[in-house]
Amino acid sequence: MIQRTRGERIFNVFNVTVLGVVALMALYPFVYTISMSLSSAAEAMRSGLHLYPRDISLTSFEMVLANPDIVSGFANSVLRTVSGTALTLFFTCLTAYPLARKELPYRGPLLFLILFTMIFSGGIVPNYLLIKNIGLIDSIWALILPHMLTAFNVIVMKNFFQSIPESLAESAKIDGASEINILARIYVPLSKPVLATVGLWTAVSHWNQWFDAMLYITSDENQVLQTFLQRIVIESSVEMIEQGLVDPNVTQFTPETIKAATVVVTVLPMLLIYPFVQKYFVKGIMLGGVKE
Amino acid sequence: MSGILFDNDSWRLYRRHKGLLVLVLPGVLFFLLFNYLPMLGLVIAFKDFRLVDGVMGSAWSGLDNFRRLFGGADFPLALRNTVTISLLRLCFGFFAPIALALMLNEVRLSWYKRTIQTVTYIPYFLSWVILGGIFLIMFAQNGPVNQMAMMVGIEPIEFLTNDFWFIVVIIATGIWQAAGYGAVIYLAALSGISPDLYEAAVVDGAGRWKQTWHITIPGLIPTIVTLFILNLGHVLNAGFDQIYNMYNPMVFDAADIIDTYVLRRIVLMDFGLATGAGLFKSVVGLMMVVLANSLARRVSGGEQGIW
């Protein structure tokens, strides 16, 4: 049925090859980093592509995981991601549901109030002063509360809720169900795809956030993983020894393998969940793409 | 006031929808506290702000902060760098996702297409702290990129400390990070093109090139135009996360953008100047986005745009 001319066959080979090269270029930085993180100091200094480590050593990971900052940073990042995502989902549902119902008084002005925050904001200094004035400096709440509701999540959730037939809510109301019951028993169970998408994007953005932690968190014990990674990446070998990150008497090391191992520790949770959630990830791009 | 808000009719309306209003109230209070209250804080831009005196207690200073901003050398340079980097991104980066989507669209092996797609949008999933960390290693003086260059006989390049090469690295790694993500949007637009059009074209004897040229690309034009205009609207966002995590004092002349300038002013406790610069960016940005949006709506006949 499908007839291919010679030109088309040549094009197909060319197309598939170029895309393969593009994919390799997308992957290579990760391959290199993983390979470096697993290399011994001598292997890391060898010139070459480092597609895989010829001399495997776990020393870098031992040093990184022996660093108490990395361990507490990891725990703080997990804490902000899990609790932040749970709170976002809860309050986004709560806010989006009434806005999805046409009979809500002042629905138009309220929607505008929320939408306007997408295109205008006070900026860094006023936000910093707010966090300072409500006493959240150096608290994990400073990282969770300001992200709890975003206009974008509320609008996405509201649009999804609107696609659920209103007759369901109306008949439940006649049966005497309260609004919160209608939301919890009818709307939320029907909204699993959008909950998964919003939840995933929120979780990823919490894990990746570093700027707010850099501004608001002042003590190392409350600091998140991304900030420690940021510090380690710009450190030289001398600084690493001074910071007590490595003990030069015990091991030979190069800063590159330590940096690479820290990157891997930070990336790993993301890459492990990626295959399972990428379906929702693509959905999120569709939702966020043009309407961002 | 109470006469308008609480006359009998409205009161009955509130009572009837009490359930909904109670649910929406926490969310509305949240936006007022975390989004609108800081907007009031923008008055700092017109004050000689001192932390001890607070927002209310600090003395007004009129347009002093803006005079200092535009009178100095740093902010005008940062503004110029911001626009330059944004426009370079647009020139070199805008068509990469379109090309990627068109090429993916021609792949007949679905597993291969899926794999390439999955791999190319991984970078969008990771923070610039992570990606910056990776690229600082890769583009270092003795890093793998320079080692490859040496293998083919090119002298090592100062990618991270030379103004020109640093911008090249910023643009290239920016494309590397976002092309896969962008392609997904175009692929969605492609899947919306009716298969009937292709079938009709085949009946008329059109080959693959002709199909691409006369059906696929015209089908993408509305998305392309919209995204292009919206990108123009974001011209003052030159990519803070990426630049902050990759730059260093040696390339400030070319890579210092408005956002990095604001952050350094904050570190120096010069809040008035930082807020002034931020306000300038917000207001110009708002005007650009509104303008871009109305343009996008007009071009697409009201179909596209953010609102």
Residues A77, A200, single domain; the answer is: yes
Average pLDDT over residues A194-219: 92
More confident residue, A290 or A168: A168
Quote the minimal CA–CA distance from B143 to chain A in Å: 9
| Closest to A58 in 3D by CA, of A40, A46, A78 | A40
Residue B22 pLDDT > 90: yes
pLDDT at site A290: 41
| Closest to A151 in 3D by CA, of A38, A12, A292 | A292
Residue B304 pLDDT > 60: no
Residues A141, A160, single domain; the answer is: yes
Find the angle CA(A146)-CA(A81)-CA(A137) to the nearest 5 degrees. 45
- Least confidently predicted of A7-21, A107-121, A198-212, A263-277: A263-277
Longest pairwise C-alpha distance within chain A:
77
Range of the domain at B44: 2-48
Q: Which tokens sit at A98? A: 């009434």
More confident residue, B294 or B301: B294
Question: Looking at the partner chain, which of A19, A117, A178 has a beta carbon nearest the beta carbon of B19?
Answer: A178
Q: Quick one: pLDDT band at residue B188, thresholds 50, 70, 90?
A: confident
Q: Last residue of some domain: A187, A211, A235? A: A211
More confident residue, A50 or A155: A155
pLDDT at site A7: 80
Question: Which distant-in-sequence residues (6+ apart) come within 8 Å of B161 by Cβ?
Answer: B248, B250, B251
Find the angle CA(B224)-CA(B230)-CA(B232) to the nearest 5 degrees. 105
Q: Quick one: pLDDT band at residue A292, thresholds 50, 70, 90?
A: very low
Say whether B109 and A16 touch across the interface (CB within 8 A): yes
Residue B165 lies in a domain: yes
Residues B136, B10, single domain; the answer is: no
Average pLDDT over residues B151-156: 90
Assembly ipTM: 0.88
pLDDT at site A250: 59
Say whether A204 and B125 touch across the interface (CB within 8 A): yes
Tens-place pLDDT, residues A115-149: 999 888 888 999 999 999 999 999 999 999 999 99
What phi and psi values does residue B111 have, to the nearest 5 degrees?
A: -65, -35
Residues B112, B230, single domain; the answer is: yes
Q: Which tokens sit at B200? A: 């009709």
Say whether A48 and B115 touch across the interface (CB within 8 A): no
Residues A86, A194, single domain; the answer is: yes
Mapping DSSP onto H, E and C, the string for chain A reads CCCCCHHHHHHHHHHHHHHHHHHHHHHHHHHHHHHHHCECHHHHHCCCCCCCCCCECCHHHHHHHCCHHHHHHHHHHHHHHHHHHHHHHHHHHHHHHHHHCCCCCCHHHHHHHHHHCCCCCCCHHHHHHHHHHCCCCCCCHHHHHHHCCCHHHHHHHHHHHHCCCHHHHHHHHHCCCCHHHHHHHHHHHHCHHHHHHHHHHHHHHHHHCCHHHHHHCCCHHHCCHHHHHHHHHCCCHHHHHHCCCCCCCCCCCCHHHHHHHHHHHHHHHHHHHHHHHHHHHHHHHHHHCCCC
Residue A243 pLDDT > 80: no
Q: Quick one: pLDDT band at residue A89, thresholds 50, 70, 90?
A: very high
Q: Quick one: pLDDT band at residue B2, thresholds 50, 70, 90?
A: very low
Bridge-based pairing state of the strands B47-48 and B59-60 = antiparallel
Q: What is the C-alpha separation between B244 and B259, in angstroms, rounded?
A: 9
Spatial contact of A153 and A202, defined as CB atoms under 8 Å apart: yes
Q: Mutation test of the interface with chain A: which of B122, B185, B291, choosing the one with the most A Cβ atoms within 10 A?
A: B122
Residues in B touching A47 (Cβ below 8 Å): 147, 150
DSSP string computed for B131-185: HHHHHHHHTSTTSHHHHHHHHTTPPP--TTTSHHHHHHHHHHHHHHHHHHHHHHH
Q: Quick one: pLDDT band at residue B5, thresholds 50, 70, 90?
A: low
Residues B40, B79, single domain; the answer is: no
Count of residues making up chain B: 307
Question: Which distant-in-sequence residues (6+ apart) come within 8 Å of B188 by Cβ?
Answer: A286, A289
Say whether A33 and B134 touch across the interface (CB within 8 A): yes
Say whether B137 and A259 touch across the interface (CB within 8 A): yes
pLDDT at site B192: 84
More confident residue, A289 or A169: A169
Range of the domain at A58: 28-66+245-288
Q: Which amino acid is at B19?
A: G
More confident residue, B263 or A49: B263
pLDDT at site A6: 82
Question: Tokens 């109301």 map to which residue?
Answer: A173
Average pLDDT over residues B72-100: 95
Q: Quick one: pLDDT band at residue B55, thresholds 50, 70, 90?
A: confident
Spatial contact of B38 and A146, defined as CB atoms under 8 Å apart: no
Residues B42, B154, single domain; the answer is: no
More confident residue, B231 or A218: A218
pLDDT at site A291: 42
Residues B253, B196, single domain; the answer is: yes
Residues B41, B96, single domain; the answer is: no
Q: What is the C-alpha separation between B138 and A289, in angstroms, rounded?
A: 30
H or E segment at B20? helix B18-31
Q: Which tokens sit at B255? A: 């890579």
Say whether B134 and A263 touch across the interface (CB within 8 A): yes
Q: Residue A121's domain is classified under what CATH number?
A: 1.10.3720.10
Average model confidence (pLDDT) for chain A?
A: 88
Average model confidence (pLDDT) for chain B?
A: 89
Q: Quick one: pLDDT band at residue A46, thresholds 50, 70, 90?
A: confident
Residues A118, A194, single domain; the answer is: yes
Residue B303 pLDDT > 90: no
Residue B306 pLDDT > 60: no
Q: Quick one: pLDDT band at residue B69, thresholds 50, 70, 90?
A: very high
Task: Provide the number of structural domains found in chain B.
Answer: 2
Tens-place pLDDT, residues A3-18: 567 888 888 899 999 9
pLDDT at site A70: 93
Residues B278, B148, single domain; the answer is: yes
Task: Provide the number of structural domains found in chain A.
Answer: 2
Quote the minimal CA–CA distance from A98 to chain B in Å: 5
